[in-house]
Amino acid sequence: MKRRTWTKEEKLSILKEAQDSGVEVTLRKHGLYPATYYSWKEKARQVGPEGLLRSKRTTKDSNYIKRLEDELSLAKQLMAEKDIEIALRDDLLKKKYPWARKEK
């Protein structure tokens, strides 16, 4: 099946038509999947009609993802520092107490 791109006006008219004449009839008429329709409906509800222009993420989503990426990088950095501290502490303990080392 060939992929079709819809303009903002077409999406809005389909949403209005589905509201007026029913979802199933409209989806069959235009050959849309229900998931596509409900995705458009949710974007229009959350962001407004300009949300139908964006095919990827909204600004709100991008900000949230950026914040999560920053937190993840900080957590990775803290874990790396903690691993270095543990390795240094183990080395110092081995030097201070050579009799406590486990020989293999």
Count CB atoms within 10 A of the CB of residue 54.
13
Q: What is the pLDDT of residue 36?
A: 92
Q: Tell me the residue type at 75.
A: A
pLDDT digits (tens, 9 = 90+) for 79-89: 999 999 999 99
What DSSP line would sit under the chain, residue for residue? -------HHHHHHHHHHHHHH-HHHHHHHHT--HHHHHHHHHHHHHT-GGGGT-SS--HHHHHHHHHHHHHHHHHHHHHHHHHHHHHHHHHHHHHH-GGGPPP-
pLDDT digits (tens, 9 = 90+) for 27-44: 999 999 999 999 999 888
d(CA 1, CA 6): 15
pLDDT digits (tens, 9 = 90+) for 48-95: 877 777 655 667 778 888 999 999 999 999 999 999 999 999 888 888
- Tokens 């486990």 belong to residue: 102
Q: What is the pLDDT of residue 71?
A: 97
How much is the pTM?
Answer: 0.50
Please check the confidence at residue 8 and state whether its pLDDT lies above 70.
Answer: yes
